[in-house]
C-alpha cells in the first residue's frame, strides 16, 4: 500500500493502533483501541459518559502527551480542533481570532472568506461577546477551516446550542465538509446528530470500539425508516431505549 512521508497510507487520514490510556492504577480508559479514518471521511464518535471519547480526541489532537508509548497514533500534519465552547480570545476581534497565528500576506483575506462561508460576513470587527453562542461556534469553525485541516476534531461542538441553532449548524457543517473535505471525528451525545452528519458512527465502550456502522442512507430525515432502524440499533448498543430508559 502506498504511504506518504508521514507513514500514513494514502487511504488513511487517521490510524490508531492498540492505544492505551489510564489515569489511575485501577483500570484503563482506553484499552487497546484501534481506529482508521479515511481522508474526507466523517466519523461520529458516541458512547456512554466516561467511556473515553474526549480522551481519544485529546490524544489525536496531540493534547495528551502521556499517551506516548501506549500505542501508535498517526494523524496528518494539519489538525484543527473545535470544542463545545468557542474558545475565542475575548480581547481580539472576530477576524483577528480567526486568523490568529496564521501566516501569509493574504491571511486577512482568507479569514474574511472563511467568515463569509460560515455566514458571518460583515462581523469581522465584532468582539466575541457581541456574537450569539451559535455565531461564536460559527467563528470557531471558520478559525478551524481557514487552516485547511486534513483532520477536524470536534468535541460536542453543538452541545451548548438550542435545538434550532443545532439544526442550522448541522447543515452548515455538512456543507463546509463537502467543500473542504477534511476527515472529521465528531464526539457527540446525540445519536440523531451522529446519523444526520456522519459517514460512519463508532460507539466506544470499555475503551475499545464496540460498534462501527456505516451510515448508508439515501434519506437522512429522522422520519425515514432506515434512519429509525439505525437509531434503534445505536440506542440499544448504548443500553438506552427510545424513551431514554436504561
Ligand X SMILES: Nc1ncnc2c1ncn2[C@@H]1O[C@H](COP(=O)(O)OP(=O)(O)OP(=O)(O)O)[C@@H](O)[C@H]1O
Cβ nearer to ligand X, comparing 190 with 199: 190
Rg (CA), the chain: 18
Cβ nearer to ligand X, comparing 23 with 100: 23
- Helices 133-145 + 163-180 axis angle, to 10: 10
The CA distance from 127 to 109, in Å, is 18
Cβ nearer to ligand X, comparing 6 with 246: 246
The answer to the question of residue 12 lying near ligand X (CB under 6 A) is no
The CA distance from 68 to 25, in Å, is 17
The answer to the question of residue 55 lying near ligand X (CB under 6 A) is yes
Cβ nearer to ligand X, comparing 26 with 216: 26
In the complex, the smallest distance separating the C-beta of residue 206 from ligand X, rounded to whole angstroms, is 11
Q: Which of 5, 49, 129, 164 binds ligand X (CB under 6 A)?
A: 49
The answer to the question of residue 47 lying near ligand X (CB under 6 A) is yes
Tally of CA atoms within 13 A in the half-sphere of 46 that contains its CB? 26
The answer to the question of residue 237 lying near ligand X (CB under 6 A) is no
Cβ nearer to ligand X, comparing 8 with 14: 14
140-179 footprint of ligand X as x/- string (CB under 6 A)? ----------------------------------------
Contact status, residue 170 vs residue 221, Cβ threshold 8 Å:
no
Please identify, among the stretches 45-53, 80-88, 104-112, 224-232, the one whose residues bind ligand X according to the rule CB under 6 A: 45-53
Cβ nearer to ligand X, comparing 30 with 88: 30
The answer to the question of residue 188 lying near ligand X (CB under 6 A) is no
Q: Which of 13, 14, 35, 51 binds ligand X (CB under 6 A)?
A: 51
In the complex, the smallest distance separating the C-beta of residue 13 from ligand X, rounded to whole angstroms, is 21
The answer to the question of residue 50 lying near ligand X (CB under 6 A) is yes
Tally of CA atoms within 13 A in the half-sphere of 182 that contains its CB? 27
Sequence length of the chain is 246
Q: Give 81: exposed, middle or buried? Use CB within 10 Å, 0-12, 13-18, 19+.
A: buried
Dihedral pair phi/psi, residue 179, rounded to 5°: -75, -50
Cβ nearer to ligand X, comparing 52 with 149: 52
**Secondary structure of residue 98 in the 3-state scheme:** helix
The CA distance from 230 to 219, in Å, is 12
The answer to the question of residue 53 lying near ligand X (CB under 6 A) is yes
The strands making up 208-214's β-sheet, listed across from edge to edge, are 79-82, 151-155, 183-187, 42-46, 200-205, 208-214
Contact status, residue 88 vs residue 139, Cβ threshold 8 Å:
yes
Point out which residues bind ligand X (CB under 6 A): 23, 29, 47, 49-55
Amino acid at each position: 500500500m502506498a504511504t506518504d512521508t508521514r507513514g500514513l497510507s494514502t487511504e488513511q487520514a487517521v490510524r490508531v493502533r492498540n492505544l492505551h490510556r489510564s489515569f489511575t492504577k485501577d483500570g484503563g480508559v482506553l484499552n487497546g483501541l484501534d481506529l482508521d479514518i479515511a481522508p474526507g471521511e466523517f466519523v461520529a464518535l458516541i458512547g456512554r459518559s466516561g467511556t473515553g471519547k474526549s480522551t481519544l480526541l485529546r490524544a489525536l489532537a496531540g493534547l495528551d502527551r502521556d499517551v506516548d508509548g501506549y500505542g501508535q497514533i498517526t494523524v496528518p500534519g494539519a489538525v484543527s480542533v473545535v470544542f463545545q465552547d468557542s474558545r475565542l480570545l475575548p480581547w481580539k476581534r472576530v477576524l483577528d481570532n480567526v486568523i490568529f497565528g496564521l501566516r501569509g500576506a493574504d491571511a486577512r483575506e482568507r479569514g474574511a472568506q472563511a467568515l463569509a462561508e460560515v455566514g458571518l460576513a460583515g462581523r469581522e470587527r465584532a468582539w466575541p461577546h457581541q456574537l450569539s453562542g451559535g455565531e461564536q461556534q460559527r467563528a470557531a469553525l471558520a478559525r478551524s477551516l481557514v487552516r485547511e485541516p486534513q483532520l477536524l476534531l470536534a468535541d460536542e461542538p453543538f452541545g451548548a446550542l438550542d435545538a434550532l441553532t443545532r439544526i442550522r449548524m448541522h447543515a452548515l457543517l455538512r456543507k463546509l465538509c463537502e467543500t473542504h473535505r477534511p476527515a472529521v471525528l465528531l464526539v457527540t451525545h446525540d445519536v440523531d446528530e451522529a446519523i444526520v452528519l456522519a459517514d460512519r458512527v463508532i460507539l466506544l465502550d470499555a475503551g475499545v470500539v464496540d460498534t462501527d456502522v456505516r451510515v448508508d442512507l439515501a434519506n437522512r430525515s429522522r422520519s425515514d425508516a432506515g434512519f429509525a432502524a439505525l437509531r434503534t440499533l445505536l440506542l440499544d448498543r448504548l443500553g438506552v431505549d427510545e424513551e431514554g430508559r436504561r
